Amino acid sequence: VQAFYLWHEKSLWSLSMVYQRSVARQLIADSLSNRGQLDEARAFLEEAVHEAPLDPQAALALGAFLLRIAFYTGQDRSPDDIKLA
What count of other Cβ atoms lies within 10 Å of the Cβ of residue 54?
A: 9
85 residues of the chain, pLDDT tens digit each: 455 555 566 677 777 788 888 888 888 988 998 898 999 999 989 988 998 888 888 899 999 999 988 887 776 656 666 665 5
Among 13, 48, 14, which residue's Cα sits nearest to residue 28?
48
